[in-house]
Structures are given as structure tokens and as C-alpha cells.
Amino acid sequence: MAPVPLSPVNVGHIDDVQELRKAKPTKIPERFVRDETERPSLSTTSLSSAYETIPVVDLSKLVKGSQDEFQTEISKLAVSCEEWGFFQVVNHGIDLDLLGSIEKVGKEFFMLPLEEKQKYPMAPGTVQGYGQAFVFSEDQKLDWCNMFALGVEPHFIRVPKLWPTKPHKFSETVEEYSREVRRLCQKLLGFIAMSLGLNKDTFEEMFGVAVQAVRMNYYPPCPRPDLVLGLSPHSDGSALTVLQQGKGSSVGLQILKDNTWVPVQPHPNALVINIGDTMEVLTNGRYQSVEHRAVTDKEKDRLSIVTFYAPSYDIELGPIPQLVYGDLPCKYKRYSHGEYSKHYVTNKLQGKKTLEFAKINQTQNSS
């Protein structure tokens, strides 16, 4: 969430999705209706939950398991990162009451009257505050989602006037939650480094004071879930993302695996972790970010609370030398996360297109 200069972007009128729903339109407004190829049609969605479920990693076995348990779990972590780019983590060490509290204040925020939420507006072309991010033109399709996002760490990325005073305890819960999630990211990065045969501190040492942002996505029920998307397909610009799904909400997150959209079944008390574009670059493509999207439900609403964790904006990074070897060419260039973040937040969500920014043209590279 790099601070982006305000540019005069003409995004046209963006309907607030909760207000739209209250008005009960007989037809979904055209700006939300996806072209046929983009609709969440059943043909491209896996229905077989039996074997198509993302792996579950037990963090307690990595932190304090026996040597055998550690080995089994670290191999599972490696397979999860390499083959799925996604996993769910259980026994993650974050107090379940805190997960309940952030969900509660998040929901309460979205239930506030529109005028109250609009005290924290997301200006066109920016990504913090209440509104819809990643909208850059009048003819761009809109997601069936209201968002509220905050830069959290380091402090200079915070925009204090966007931190809500209502609901009571919102801001202090975000603080406490973010502290715990930061610790979790640090632990996970240590084990991810080990799963690659690297020193445990590799990422923490490279990252400097890591950038952390939180985004809450609220998806109201939609009368025509077959026509709209809750969130457009994208990969995250982060190194790691931690996603919490509201308890009892509909299944909304889908990930693209072998050209099929696989739904992520919420696992009780687990957090969903995914590899972001930055990790793909640092591992020279060994752990790749994976395209994902959110779909909506006819009856149920859904809240997701998403934390993005990334290196400091000003440190130049590139593929880790130990992961560029043999005849494996270096596939990505060096740049700072600030540069990437600026590129990411000034483009619409479009699958993995944003990562083209980082790729080295292989023909050029080998000549």
C-alpha cells in the first residue's frame, strides 16, 4: 500500500453494494454484470470437494513437534507452497477470541450507516479507506464488494484520519490483531525459508521493517451470483497474505488450480495463507503466487479480513542467489517493493498480469 499520488482518475459513479442491495433492484446494474467468459460458471468450478481441498498445516508441529512431526509438517509446507501456493494453518497461536473480536468489529463497521463509513473515503486511485479499490476507468466492471483498508506498519504508511472512531474498539482491535498476525507471518517466513533449505532468518533479514496492511472485504448477498464476481481474479502483491474468513459465512474464495476454480472450504479456526508475487520473485519462481477470486452467494453475506505482509518499501530485492542455480536462469529482476507496490495499486486486478513488471525476458536473458 504505497502512498500513491492523487491523480485525476475518472471512475464514474460507483454504487455502494450494500446500499444497492437494500434498494432491491430487479436487475443487476450493468457495471456489475461480467462478460460471459468471466462469470463464475459451474463448468470451470470444481465441485469435487473430496480431493480438491487445499492442504492444512499444523504450526504447532513446526514450533514444538517431535523431530518426526517437524519433518512431516515441513514437507507438507513445501508441497503446499510449491503445488498450491495456498494452505490453511491451524494451531497458529493466535487467540481464537481475538479472531472473534476482529470479525465482530469488522462486521459492525460494515453495518454502520453509509454516512458514517463515508467519513473514511477511499479516494479514487488510492487503496486506503472505505470504498472500492483498483477502479481506474468509467467502463471498468465493478466487484460485488465493499472494502475497508488501512496501512498498519511501518507507522508512516498510516493515514490517521482513516482510522475509525466507530465502532468502539475497532482501531484498538485492528492494532492488537495486526501485532499477532505480524508475529505469525514472521514465524511462517522462518519455516518457509527452512522448507527451501535456507537459513531460518533469510526473509526477516532481507525485509527490513516489513510493510503490513489490512483489508476487510464485505460481500453482501447477491440476487444473481451467477452474473457477478465478489472480487476480480488476481494474485497478491505481498510476500505472504493471511486471510481470515468470517465464521458461518458462505464459501467465497476460489483459487485457480490446473485451470479449474477450486473453492476453499473454510476450516474451523484456521487462517488461510497464500504466497504473494514478492515470494515468487524471491524464490525465483519456485513458490509461485496463485490467481484467486471471490464469488458471492444468493442468501448469505461474507466478510474476509486480509493481511498483506511485504518487505520494506526501500530495500532493493531480487531472486535469492541460492535459488538461481544450474541451468535455471534468473527469471525476475531486482527492484524495491515500493516500486512494485506503486505499480500494483495503480493497475486494475487482472489475474497475474501485474507480475509481468518483474519478469526478465528469457530470450534476452540467455543471449
Ligand X SMILES: O=C(O)CCC(=O)C(=O)O
Bridge partners of 256, per DSSP, are 261
Residues with Cβ within 8 Å of 337's Cβ and at least 6 positions away in sequence, in order, are: 211, 278, 310, 311, 312, 313, 315, 317
Q: How many residues bind Fe ion (CB under 5 A)?
A: 1
61 contact choice in Fe ion, ligand X, none (CB below 5 to 8 Å, kind-dependent): none
Q: From CA 305, how far away is CA 323, in angstroms rounded?
A: 32
Give the footprint of ligand X on residues 253-282 (CB under 6 A). Answer: 253
**Which of 191/218 has CB closer to ligand X?**
218
Question: Going along the chain, which residue ranges are E strands?
Answer: 56-58, 86-90, 129-131, 146-153, 211-219, 231-234, 240-245, 253-257, 260-263, 271-275, 292-294, 302-310, 316-317, 335-336
Give me the least distance between CB of 117 and ligand X, in Å please: 18
Report angle CA 89, 245, 200 to the nearest 5 degrees: 30
At position 79, the amino acid (one-letter code) is V
Using the contact rule CB under 5 A, the part of the chain among 78-86, 119-127, 236-244, 293-301 near Fe ion is 236-244
User: Is 294 among the residues that bind ligand X (CB under 6 A)?
Assistant: yes
Give me the least distance between CB of 302 and ligand X, in Å please: 7
Site string for ligand X, 180-219 (x = CB under 6 A): -----------------------------------x-x--
CA 249, 260, 224, 146 torsion: positive or negative? positive
How far is CA 91 from each of CA 75, 173, 186, 194, rounded to the nearest angstrom? 17, 21, 15, 19
Give me the least distance between CB of 104 and ligand X, in Å please: 18
Residue labelled with grid coordinates 432491491? 24
Helices (H) and strands (E) in the chain, counts: 10, 14
**Which of 178/217 has CB closer to Fe ion?**
217
User: Is 143 among the residues that bind Fe ion (CB under 5 A)?
Assistant: no
281 contact choice in Fe ion, ligand X, none (CB below 5 to 8 Å, kind-dependent): none
Bridge partners of 307, per DSSP, are 214, 242
User: Is 236 among the residues that bind ligand X (CB under 6 A)?
Assistant: yes
Among 304, 341, 346, 354, binds ligand X (CB under 6 A): 304
User: Is 236 among the residues that bind Fe ion (CB under 5 A)?
Assistant: yes
Give me the least distance between CB of 264 and ligand X, in Å please: 7
Among 124, 131, 252, 263, binds ligand X (CB under 6 A): 252
**Which of 61/309 has CB closer to Fe ion?**
309
Q: From CA 242, how far away is CA 211, in angstroms rounded?
A: 14
**Which of 61/287 has CB closer to Fe ion?**
287
User: Is 231 among the residues that bind ligand X (CB under 6 A)?
Assistant: yes
Positions touching ligand X (CB under 6 A) are: 215, 217, 231, 236, 243, 252-253, 292, 294, 304, 306
Footprint of Fe ion on this chain (CB under 5 A)? 236
